Amino acid sequence: MAAAQTAEQKATAQKAAADSQASAAAEQDVAAKKAAEDKAAAEQAAADAERARLEAAKKAASQLQVIGPVAVLPLKSGGERYVYRGAPVGDEFTEEGVKHAQSVGLVGKPKK
């Protein structure tokens, strides 16, 4: 009877070990899938950021920028602002001030 119990105990131990290995393998599969999903999400986020950066660069290239070293532009709200080369010229500046800066070559569309 002792031999029967020993064989039964061995079988139970082997079954427990097999179940443990199967559980570990399943956990590894889940972890691998999670890692793959995280990597794909990170790659998608990087691609979206690059696409947004390119769109912003195209938009900036098509709008007026300071092309001289510096331009002092009057603000619609009053006062003036020093705007340096490469900065976009937005709606906060007066139309007359922007036209004057264009006429003297400080503001324009950048060369490509």
Region 20-27: mean pLDDT is: 82
Res 29 pLDDT > 70:
yes
Mean pLDDT of the chain: 87
CA-CA-CA-CA dihedral for 106, 108, 109, 112, to nearest 10: -40
- Of residues 42 and 2, which shows the higher confidence score? 42
Res 3 pLDDT > 70:
no
Measured between alpha carbons, how far is 53 from 65 in angstroms, rounded to an integer? 17
The answer to whether the beta carbons of residues 110 and 61 sit under 8 Å apart is: yes
With the C-alpha atoms ordered 7, 12, 13, 14, is the resulting torsion angle positive or negative?
positive
DSSP 53: H
Overall pTM > 0.85 = no
